[in-house]
Structure 1
Amino acid sequence: MSPLRFDLGDLQAMVAVVEQGGFRAAASAINLSQPALSRRIEKLENALNVKLFERTTRRVELTLVGREFFVKAIEILDGVESSLLSIGEISRTRFGQVSVACVPSVAHHFLPPVLQRFHTAYPNIRIRIIDEGAHEVLNHVARGDSDFGLNFIGEQELGIDFEPILRERFVLTCRTDHPLAKRRSVTWNDIRPYPYMTVAKSSGNRRVLDIAMEQGDIRPASFIEVRHVATLLEMVKAGLGVAVVPGLAVPPDATLASIPLRDPEIARTLGVIRRSGRVFSPGAQQLYELIKEMPPLGKHMTAL
């Protein structure tokens, strides 16, 4: 077997460039000078006899070969860390990074208390949150850009493992001075007399609604469509109309009411997704365990 002509430091340098989006930020993140970092990348490219990065004056991007090797680099570094920890080198002072992709409503209203507990326990582990739409979250996990994801889609995807953690109901949201605000529950027929707004068909939430109501014509016609739930909620607050959104997406707000839906009740399942066969790094495993222990937040969620 021919000897390796690169070391773990070279792999860490490559990963840092990808995760930080450039050489300057990467050098700062791993406490190297920029020339020293560049030398490590050059050494790695020479050892592999491939070009890993395309560099311009404005940005740095992985080549096709670079994207493939990046996944391997992550697996190697995770494997080394797991081996070290397994023989007793775990401590509260260890350094590292955990990368989690998640939909914005989870980042806004579910993750903060979990992240606070994790940071208290492991203050030197950096947490990278990739808050994107459901399809982008799935893509990040499939490409190996994140340790794992928190998403409402992915259960039927090849190459993706989906572990459910909670069930979240959709609710009607309206202003607290709206005629429906004091109701204990509402049906879709109750909503019909009022201006109705919704997210566009490109949204994962719209997909859930469409699937749930593909039988029959019970949903009211919308007069406004937007791309993001956050925008929808601001329009509700402005008094433009009512909307149906996931319960987790409704923030604590004195101007907004959220009322359970029935006939039919519509829900979605939040799960942890990861690439099939991918083993969590020790840091990712600890965060994953804390997420599973987190109790449901609010009356519209149920633990699974």
Structure 2
Amino acid sequence: MSITYKFKSLMLINFDLNDLQAFRAVAEQGSFRKAAEVIRISQPALSRRIEKLEDALGVKLFERTTRRVSLTIVGRAFAPRAERLLNDLDDALLGISDVASSRMGQVTIACVPSAAYYFMPGVIAQYHKLYPRIRIKVLDAGANDVRGAVINGEADLGLSFSGNLDNELEFEGLVQERYVAACRRDHPLAGRSDVSWNEFYTYDYMSVDKSSGNRFVLDQALMHLTPSKPSICETRHITTMLGMVETGLGIAAVPAMAMPAHNHPVLTSVPLIDPPVVRDIGLIKRRGRTLIPAALELERLIIQVKG
């Protein structure tokens, strides 16, 4: 799409929408290489787009050194205007029903696996009906990787829990869930109404390692408890641990959202008490950054699913 600006001097300035998108990517990433990866073009092609935009405007937008790329004074003034123009255009196109269904593009969301399983299937189905040509990319990863993806711009927004968030992020809670003891249906705990953490630790159990966000939540909540014996195995992901529970290796403390359906033939769960431990699941976004309209619509649908 070609854009033409007409100033009082009657001078015409022509540039492409792609040039503005390239400018925004470099401004956000602070790197031509990273920006090229984000908008999925080669680095030379990205450089040509920036040069074309600078030539059209007759100004230098970036200061380039061997170590970093930074906005010039003019570039800093131009950045919010470019962002507003791109967002307004996206918003206008998504608001026109005949055009919205033909819109192309991609929205990326980073999710901890349990939240991806709980929220995203229904959300993606609804989003696809509205915007069949906009692709949703789901980065299912641990909480630390989800935070990193949102901070560095790899993801438009994230689904994670509230523990240990960076100051660069803002959190909007959606649901609160408790931790349960996952066990086989033939385990002595199966069918119990609840089980204390102290009793839980008397059985063979697995745990997640210290790189896991769940480990951080549990360590904070249970710092006053000393397990009667260490775990027999540590894993990085809850899904791996549940697989081991299913084979009969032991039990595991997991978020309720991570448990399979209630009619699972092998696995069941028992609420953990004394104390009950909960975690808040919600949306995370980069503080001070406005989401593109396509990502705002994804956010709206996620909040709707919560309701």
TM-score (norm: length of structure 2): 0.76
Conservation of the 8 A alpha-carbon contact between 2:22 and 2:49: no
Structure 1: which amino acid aligns with 2:116? A
Per-residue CA distance 1:1-59 (angstroms, 9 max, x = gap): 99978532134468684237664xxxxxxxxxxxxx9545424257456679x9xxxxx
Deviates more, 1:130-139 or 1:89-98: 89-98
Corresponding residue for residue 8 of structure 1:
17
Corresponding residue for residue 31 of structure 2:
none
Corresponding residue for residue 267 of structure 1:
278
TM-score (norm: length of structure 1): 0.76
* CA deviation after TM superposition for structure 1 residue 208, in Å: 0.7
Query: Structure 1 residues 87 and 99 mapped into 2: Cα distance closer, same or farther (>3 Å)?
Result: closer
Query: Structure 1 residues 120 and 195 mapped into 2: Cα distance closer, same or farther (>3 Å)?
Result: same
Query: Structure 1 residues 281 and 43 mapped into 2: Cα distance closer, same or farther (>3 Å)?
Result: closer
Q: Secondary structure at the match of 2:289?
A: coil
Q: Secondary structure at the match of 2:174?
A: strand
Corresponding residue for residue 196 of structure 1:
205
Alpha-carbon separation, structure 2, partners of 1:49 and 1:211: 45
Is 1:123 matched with 2:149? no
Unpaired segments of 5 or more residues in structure 2?
1-6, 26-34, 55-60, 72-76
Conservation of the 8 A alpha-carbon contact between 1:194 and 1:242: yes
* CA deviation after TM superposition for structure 1 residue 290, in Å: 1.1
Is 1:279 matched with 2:290? yes
Per-residue CA distance 1:215-240 (angstroms, 9 max, x = gap): 13257521111111111111111111
* CA deviation after TM superposition for structure 1 residue 205, in Å: 0.5
Q: Secondary structure at the match of 1:116?
A: helix
Query: Structure 1 residues 209 and 87 mapped into 2: Cα distance closer, same or farther (>3 Å)?
Result: closer
Per-residue CA distance 1:59-87 (angstroms, 9 max, x = gap): xxxx74289xxxx9997775334313555
Corresponding residue for residue 143 of structure 1:
152
Alpha-carbon separation, structure 1, partners of 2:152 and 2:278: 28
Unpaired segments of 5 or more residues in structure 1?
24-36, 55-62, 296-302
Is 1:247 matched with 2:250? no
Corresponding residue for residue 84 of structure 1:
89
Corresponding residue for residue 58 of structure 1:
none
* CA deviation after TM superposition for structure 1 residue 250, in Å: 1.6
Superposed, which structure 2 residues align to 1:218-237 within 5 Å?
218=227, 220-237=229-246
Identity %: 40
Conservation of the 8 A alpha-carbon contact between 1:174 and 1:243: yes
Is 1:44 matched with 2:53? no
Corresponding residue for residue 163 of structure 1:
172
Alpha-carbon separation, structure 2, partners of 1:108 and 1:198: 21
Query: Structure 1 residues 231 and 280 mapped into 2: Cα distance closer, same or farther (>3 Å)?
Result: same
Per-residue CA distance 1:151-178 (angstroms, 9 max, x = gap): 1136753121111111011110011111
Superposed, which structure 2 residues align to 1:169-208 within 5 Å?
169-208=178-217
Query: Structure 1 residues 3 and 162 mapped into 2: Cα distance closer, same or farther (>3 Å)?
Result: farther
Query: Structure 1 residues 11 and 261 mapped into 2: Cα distance closer, same or farther (>3 Å)?
Result: same
Structure 1: which amino acid aligns with 2:294? G
Q: Secondary structure at the match of 1:294?
A: helix
